[in-house]
Amino acid sequence: MPEGEPALWIHEAVPAGALAQLADGCGVDVVVAELLFRAGFQEAADAIRFLEPRLAELENPFRLTNLESAATRIRGAIERKESIVILGDYDVDGVSSTALLVGILRAFGSNPRFVVPLRLEEGYGLSRGAIDRALEGGSPALFIALD
């Protein structure tokens, strides 16, 4: 798009009958059905599998590059009672992942420090200000940045 031109939003209508059928089949509101339809779910059974995943149907998380070594490193830090600092993010997935990891580490006997960036002061993402605040208590044995 040439600079200075307004962005155009093209909203193609979804057949009302398809939305009603998907909504009824999934037991969701028609607005949720439209979101599902636009995400590629046209059959209720597929949408339900997406909305209500079963553990046995989830992908193996250890297919992610370096996840096994990361898990081993975190396990070792817990066992050796090393200091851990977690730097999250202030958006919904960043706060959720920070809270989840802190809760899990505490359940395993660790007591991690954690920092969530101050949006207006430190900006978005991995900023120098947020890192400096995370390290105010000293350099940890393990520093985890996540989002």
pLDDT of 1 higher than 60:
no
| Residue 12 vs residue 18, higher pLDDT | 18
* Residue-wise pLDDT tens digits, 98-141: 999 999 999 999 999 999 888 777 777 778 888 888 899 899 99
C-beta of residue 126 within 8 angstroms of C-beta of residue 87: yes
Residue with tokens 């066992």: 79
pLDDT of 4 higher than 70:
no
How far, in Å, CA of 59 to CA of 96, rounded?
A: 21
How far, in Å, CA of 143 to CA of 84, rounded?
A: 6
Q: Indicate yes or no: pTM above 0.75.
A: no
Q: Name residue 85's beta-bridge partners.
A: 113, 143
Output the average pLDDT for the chain: 89
